[in-house]
Amino acid sequence: MNVAVITGASSGMGREFVYAIDKDMELDELWVIARREDRLLELQDKVRAKIRPVVLDLLDRDSLRVFAELLDKEKPCVKVLVNAAGFGLFGTYTEMDMEKQLQIIDLNDRALTGMTYITLPYMPDGAQIYNMGSMSSFQPVPYINVYGASKAYVLSFSKALRVELCERKIKVMAVCPGWIKTEFFSHAIHDSTVSYFNRYYGPEDVIKKAVRDMHKGKAVSVLGFPERLQVLGVKLLPTRFVLRTWCKQQKKPFGY
């Protein structure tokens, strides 16, 4: 049984990945993972493959054990793994709830790492792994501090894993978009600490390019020429300059 496994599938980028993967590949089932079963069941009328809702809260460490047991029972051939579950908070580090910030790390990094580890034994040579990163993967980002650091982990993990899996020809790619209008914003923004957003992209455009880039064998997918230019800039420019520019855009003091 050929399947794709997609986390965070009830909304946002995960939901768009469901549509895109279904169009891109002939699969028997789409294993869609999220907390809201009703949102997962809604997907069936919009895709060709059979939807298998897997209701899990990946913040619960026991969820990885539950999913591992499902894999062991069904023994699917996982052609695609999409780690799209994640969230962030915008604000001053010391003024935000500590537990919420620890949950960012748990979902964006721990769950992604665990899902990848337990799924890889069921993935054939030539399979694909999409990991959701961010433009913040490439630089320190004050006032999106923990989220940015969590996405830097995703980028580093994806690039290194890609090398380790090269003999199996499993393609690992980090998808690193700029600002995207999804439910992410309604959860992330709780005050005006971060107020400057230079441009938005649609989630469907980000995923469409990600699928193209996966077929091209790219390690990282970044939509938009200005965003790719920014990635190049933060690699070449001093970190102090990059941080100062960000703080100036957000009208925040800079003391480095």
DSSP 92-105: -GGGS-HHHHHHHH
Q: Do the beta carbons of residue 131 and residue 174 sit within 8 Å? A: yes
Q: Which residue has the tokens 């009208």?
A: 251
Q: Amino acid letter at 2?
A: N
Q: Locate all alpha helices (DSSP H) within 59-136, ordered by sequence.
A: 62-74, 98-105, 112-119
For the question of residue 117 being annotated catalytic, the response is no
CA 199 to chain centre: 19
Residues contacting residue 81 through CB under 8 Å, at least 6 positions apart: 4, 5, 6, 115, 116, 119, 123, 127, 128, 129, 130
Q: Which of 93, 147, 153, 200 is catalytic?
A: 147
Q: Which long-range contacts (CB under 8 A, 24 or more apart) does 241-246 make?
A: 242/139, 242/140, 243/139, 243/140, 243/142, 246/139, 246/141, 246/142
What is the set of active-site residues? 147
